[in-house]
Structure 1
Amino acid sequence: MVTIYDIARISGVSKSTVSRVVSNHPHVSTETRNKVLKVMQEYNYVPNSLARQFRQKHTKCIAIIIPNIDHPYFCQLVRYISAACHKKGFKTVVHQTFLNKNTEKGVYTQLQTNEFDAIILASSLLPEVEIASCTKNKLIVACNEVFSGEYFDVFCVDEEETTMKATTFLLNKGLSTLAFCADNITSPLQQARLKGFILAHNKKGLNYTKKFIFNKVSNIEDGITLGDKIFKVHTEIDGIISGSDFVAAGLISSAVRNNIEIPKQLSIIGFDNHPISLITNPQISTISNKIQEISIDLVNHLINKIDGRERAPIKKVYSGEFINRSSS
């Protein structure tokens, strides 16, 4: 069995440094902390003292993993999940990974040391097999990301079907050159949306243009920048499936500045049905992802599992709702 002395030796640090990392002491550099956490993860080390301390005892705390808090979708998600947990008597702690795999793995190590009862995973850069390996028999539920449900619970919108319906709506209008926007094209969620975008074209016997798949477009400023580019360089684009209502708002702002009529010259569909979609001119056609309903269902299920009333992993998939407003 690996001991704290082994972790210290392999990491090249002192035993007291490992203890400080385990207790989340602030006086440890980020580099050293990540190095020790990585070794702990590799050797499946769980500190005996913490294990004894928390055995047979709940912390009444649930961690939420997101990439960053200033993203409109994740800000809303944290709000609804935290409110649902609060009603059940649980605290929440938000971990921002800033799209760093080691930071994400560090949170899984904290779960192994029983610093919280469970993790709600709203964003990940890791494949689900690796996540399952990191968390082992500890409790984790995925929300937002499109995983299989084989290894842990998953609550998500059918991103592929929903995006296919929105794309089909534009194609049925006679539009022929569509663009697709993603904030992180490599994530399972964005891959599902892209698949739906492509599938809609295939069903119509149409081709999509690969160069009009835009990545790292996630906020109003990105939408403005992309719009300025499209209206000057890619004027043939006549419809856009944007990754969020904020991106759509940025595109509309750019369109106004470039004297482009929406939707006469360009149709735009957002995502998330955020209140901002109601205050733009024109109002943004969007997709409701049922974030509040999912959050409540997920938290109720998770707390049942914490209490030992649920066992086998489940996957619950929700249908997104296309809301046709004046931007499309």
Structure 2
Amino acid sequence: MVTIYDIARLSGVSKSTVSRVVSNHPYVSTETRNKVLKVMQEYNYVPNSLAKQFRQKQTKCIAILIPNLDHPYFSQLVRYISAACYKKGFKTVIHQTFSNKYTERDVYTQLQRNEFDAIILASFSLPEEAIARYTENNIIVACNEDYSGDYFDVFCLDEEEVTMKATSYLLNKGLSKLAFCSDNITSPLQQARLKGFILAHTKKGLHHTKDFVFNKISNIEDGIILGERIFKDRLEIEGIIAGSDFVAAGLISSAVKNHIEIPKQLSIIGFDNHPISLVTNPQISTICNHIQDMSNDLVNHIVNKINGIKKSPIKKVYNGEIINRNSS
């Protein structure tokens, strides 16, 4: 097997020069760089990344913790975070916990064993204090969930505020019988959304209907099933904060099947501004969550921390925007 010493000898340069070429160091002339690269290509030389990582005390790998990859939001989030990491020279490892705290804790143990440089928490079951205790002084950044920021960095959307705005929009149209959909009502994110939903009612002097708060509704199929229930049972619902664009798409599919006019008989607002919101008929009114901006910001932040830039825990909150289309 060809080694770095062989490449140096065949190129007529020192081992350190080859190392600089491999690491794309700027202080190598174009002529020398091209000569070394040509020899590397001729002999199919592949640098030993593990040895390089050992020297740098970095794995160049970041773990992303999610409940499951089937969820439309998390698959989109993973795509944006992974792309941002790749641009910074980092690989990502996706850990699906299926909301199991023991599986989650195993990932923290791997971080302590330096199997990756940092963890991005998109969802988690354990309290902040417990996570900080399990991970000690390792690098943790939370996104998506609205946590305090006292123990680790947090990047999140102001879920309460934007849900309150979306709910108020429907209430201001004269729709008082509203429903709320959640994928996991116990999560901090969904609790923040529910709080915004209730607060919008309170500000109008209204009470929300507890029976119209639906849990474990997260995909198109769930939206279809919920729609069938609403229409067949003739539930007096005038508008729905659907929780995701996929749920909204399922509701619209069911409405079409049951000859319900959207938005004349039922107004629907989705969440996340996923491309699917543009292909339904009618197109889905939704909430822009700035997921790409958040992903880029948190990856830049986490890479700086990996590279030794020390900062106190920060919390960056993004303001969502309502995008009005034809479903509301």
Counterpart of 2:260 in 1: which secondary structure? coil
Note if 1:245 corresponds to 2:263: no
Match of 1:315 in 2: 315
CA distance in structure 2 between the aligned counterparts of 1:314 and 1:123, rounded to whole angstroms: 18
Match of 2:73 in 1: 73
CA distance in structure 1 between the aligned counterparts of 2:265 and 2:235, rounded to whole angstroms: 9
Uncovered stretches (5+) of structure 2, i.e. residues with no partner: 1-52
Aligned pairs for 1:275-294 within 5 A: 275-294=275-294
Match of 1:257 in 2: 257
Q: Which amino acid aligns with 1:271?
A: F
Alpha-carbon offset, residue 100 of structure 1? 1.0
Q: Which amino acid aligns with 2:275?
A: P
Aligned pairs for 1:72-221 within 5 A: 72-221=72-221
CA contact (8 A) 1:54 1:114 kept: no
Counterpart of 1:163 in 2: which secondary structure? helix
CA distance in structure 1 between the aligned counterparts of 2:143 and 2:225, rounded to whole angstroms: 30
CA distance in structure 2 between the aligned counterparts of 1:129 and 1:247, rounded to whole angstroms: 33
Counterpart of 2:256 in 1: which secondary structure? helix
CA distance in structure 1 between the aligned counterparts of 2:290 and 2:116, rounded to whole angstroms: 27
Which protein shows a greater Rg?
Answer: 2
CA distance in structure 2 between the aligned counterparts of 1:199 and 1:234, rounded to whole angstroms: 26
CA distance in structure 2 between the aligned counterparts of 1:55 and 1:114, rounded to whole angstroms: 14
Q: 1:234 to 1:108 in 2, by over 3 A?
A: farther
CA distance in structure 1 between the aligned counterparts of 2:111 and 2:54, rounded to whole angstroms: 11
Match of 1:302 in 2: 302
Note if 1:224 corresponds to 2:224: yes
C-alpha deviations, 1:207-263, integer Å up to 9, x for none?
001111100000000000000001122431000001100000000000011111100
CA contact (8 A) 1:66 1:95 kept: yes
CA distance in structure 1 between the aligned counterparts of 2:272 and 2:188, rounded to whole angstroms: 17
CA distance in structure 2 between the aligned counterparts of 1:162 and 1:238, rounded to whole angstroms: 20
CA distance in structure 1 between the aligned counterparts of 2:77 and 2:217, rounded to whole angstroms: 19
C-alpha deviations, 1:27-54, integer Å up to 9, x for none?
xxxxxxxxxxxxxxxxxxxxxxxxxx96
CA distance in structure 2 between the aligned counterparts of 1:315 and 1:82, rounded to whole angstroms: 21
Q: 1:189 to 1:54 in 2, by over 3 A?
A: farther
Q: 1:115 to 1:138 in 2, by over 3 A?
A: same
CA distance in structure 2 between the aligned counterparts of 1:91 and 1:266, rounded to whole angstroms: 45
Q: Using the TM superposition, name which of 173-182 and 302-311 deviates more.
A: 302-311
Q: Using the TM superposition, name which of 69-78 and 127-136 deviates more.
A: 127-136
CA distance in structure 1 between the aligned counterparts of 2:101 and 2:71, rounded to whole angstroms: 18
Aligned CA RMSD, in angstroms, stands at 1.2
CA distance in structure 1 between the aligned counterparts of 2:186 and 2:96, rounded to whole angstroms: 18
Alpha-carbon offset, residue 133 of structure 1? 1.6
Alpha-carbon offset, residue 71 of structure 1? 1.1
CA distance in structure 1 between the aligned counterparts of 2:224 and 2:92, rounded to whole angstroms: 35
Counterpart of 2:145 in 1: which secondary structure? coil
Alpha-carbon offset, residue 55 of structure 1? 9.2
Counterpart of 1:140 in 2: which secondary structure? strand
Q: Which amino acid aligns with 2:187?
A: S
Q: Which amino acid aligns with 1:111?
A: L
Counterpart of 1:155 in 2: which secondary structure? strand
CA contact (8 A) 1:273 1:287 kept: yes
Q: Which amino acid aligns with 1:240?
A: I
CA distance in structure 2 between the aligned counterparts of 1:54 and 1:183, rounded to whole angstroms: 42
Counterpart of 1:200 in 2: which secondary structure? helix
CA distance in structure 1 between the aligned counterparts of 2:54 and 2:245, rounded to whole angstroms: 43
CA distance in structure 2 between the aligned counterparts of 1:54 and 1:116, rounded to whole angstroms: 12
Q: Which amino acid aligns with 1:231?
A: F
Counterpart of 1:224 in 2: which secondary structure? helix
Alpha-carbon offset, residue 137 of structure 1? 1.0
The 4+ residue runs of structure 1 with deviation greater than 2 A are 53-56
How many residues of Structure 1 are paired with residues of Structure 2 in the alignment?
276
Q: Using the TM superposition, name which of 53-62 and 167-176 deviates more.
A: 53-62
Q: TM-score, normalised by structure 1?
A: 0.83
Alpha-carbon offset, residue 310 of structure 1? 3.0
CA distance in structure 2 between the aligned counterparts of 1:111 and 1:54, rounded to whole angstroms: 15
CA distance in structure 2 between the aligned counterparts of 1:211 and 1:323, rounded to whole angstroms: 27
